[in-house]
Amino acid sequence: MTTDHVWRQIEQLLVATTQRAVLVAPFIKKEVFQAALNAIPAGVQEITCVTRWSVPEVAAGVSDPEIAELAQQDGRASVLLCHNLHAKLYAADERCLVGSANMTGKATGRVHAANIELLVELPTDHPEVQRVLAELRASSVPGTVELAQQMREQANLMLADEDSPRIVVPGEDEQPTRWLPETRNPERLYRVYNGRHQQIGSDVLAGVLRDLAHLDIGPGLAEQEFGAAVLTRLRTMPELQALTEAGRMNLADAQAGLMATEGCTAAQAQRAIETIAAWLSYFDEVHLVPIGPWEIRQGRELT
């Protein structure tokens, strides 16, 4: 069996397309994507590609957001993004291949030292195939050229920052769960998330990018959706357990707990808790109560 057996499976499927092709893979490299477009007959005018982009993955080199430019140049293809995508599926009309192979050189066997992968043919109307396609339609956002350029720019900035979190592959390598917000101005998060960072100093920008990498929020969200995703991530932090359960959090207790669990100094713990409080004030309905030991309390402040 040749090393490019998996690619030959995909190519033979796509060559036979008459109406509609669907390419679904978390990791897609532009060389393989272009080869797939070339394999689909010119008369086929509907090509849908579903993938996922994250700054750490782009920085790691496992995904190329530039496929959005190739799709635009082709004129027939559209790119959609699904942040929690893990399925691999290639469909042409009534036939499809499902299995383990991403659209990368190693997965398809188009380069040396290929992965051991599996693709099995199923009818496109198989209930599980239809379930996955329906979920993708409901949860995906457009992968535009502008968004692709933002992802590449942020990935390059991350690579230039020596203090960035280690590059991981979500879904393949678990993101470290221990994280404390770094940037003191949470209003900068959405600006940088959207690629608007020209007026932010390099040191501050590096901290915002590190926070975004740890948050691991999918691209393309509106500001309200982004804020909700940040708040969901914040509420998983053990420091906020008291606020979540009792509706109030004593800042002195939170600071002492952080010193005990992380071994940080009083000044470091105080800064961390103050930063968390700033994020909560921005993304949640909480208020500070400066009576006795300062507290953060859930809900709007009564006036």
Give pLDDT tens digits for 211-235. Answer: 998 888 988 889 999 999 999 988 8
C-alpha to C-alpha distance for 271 and 11, rounded to whole angstroms: 56
Range in 79-88, 122-131, 152-161 the model is least confident about? 152-161
Range in 7-11, 135-139, 192-196, 245-249 the model is least confident about? 245-249
C-alpha to C-alpha distance for 234 and 232, rounded to whole angstroms: 5
When pLDDT is averaged across residues 121-142 and rounded to a whole number, the result is 96
pLDDT band at 297 (very low <50, low <70, confident <90, very high): low
Is residue 208 over pLDDT 50? yes
List the domain boundaries for the chain: 5-143, 176-298
Q: Summarize pLDDT for 24-36 with one digit per residue, the tens.
A: 999 999 999 999 9
Is residue 175 over pLDDT 60? no
Range in 66-75, 235-244, 272-281 the model is least confident about? 235-244
Range in 121-125, 172-176, 214-218 the model is least confident about? 172-176
Q: Which of 105, 9, 20, 88 is nearest to 51 (CA)?
A: 88
How high is the pLDDT of residue 162?
66
CATH of domain 5-143: 3.30.870.10
Mean pLDDT score of the chain, rounded to an integer?
86
C-alpha to C-alpha distance for 135 and 50, rounded to whole angstroms: 11
Distances (CA, A) of 266 to 222, 231, 269: 37, 26, 5
pLDDT band at 298 (very low <50, low <70, confident <90, very high): low
**pTM for this prediction:** 0.79
